[in-house]
Amino acid sequence: MKHSGIFLKSMIFLMGFILIAKEALADYRNYCGWGMYPGMMGWGWPGLLFMLVFWVLIVVLIILLIRRLLSSGSTPIASPPQEDSALEILKKRYARGEINKEEFEAKKKDLT
């Protein structure tokens, strides 16, 4: 949930920035008298396609950067401890002195 909130905020910020930049460029173009194609700066359809590809790449790079920054701070989840096999438990009990050699041999024979 936390990651989606950050992503949403960054996308809202990016869209606001693009809208402000677009308006500023439109005002400057009208002031300077650029070309006849509003929003395409005289390049026509190839300019429009290039602009779309450019902004898609910028947005993808920002998303990848945000994901990289968010994932670098997270710690990997520890795997649950492995349970010892019955033979390992038997060996540990024998090493601690809980059972004698005869019990150890008998139980080992039952397990194997």
pLDDT score for 27: 63
pLDDT score for 48: 74
Residue-wise burial string across 57-87, b where 16 or more C-beta atoms lie within 10 A, e elsewhere? eeeeeeeeeeeeeeeeeeeeeeeeeeeeeee
Residue 23, Ramachandran bin (φ over 0: left; ψ between -120 and 50: alpha; else beta): alpha
Instruction: Show Cβ contacts of residue 111 under 8 Å, excluding neighbours closer than 6 positions.
Output: 86, 87, 90
What tokens appear for 57 in the block?
Answer: 């790449």
CA distances from 62 to 17, 55, 68, 71 (A): 13, 11, 10, 14
| pLDDT tens-digit map of 60-110 | 999 999 888 887 766 656 666 677 788 888 899 999 999 999 999 998 888
> Which amino acid is residue 66, in one-letter code?
I
Instruction: Show Cβ contacts of residue 70 under 8 Å, excluding neighbours closer than 6 positions.
Output: 3, 6
**Residue 42 pLDDT > 70:** no
**Residue 2 pLDDT > 60:** no
Residue 86: strand, helix, or coil: helix
pLDDT score for 28: 59
The proportion of the chain whose per-residue pLDDT surpasses 70, expressed as a percent, equals 66
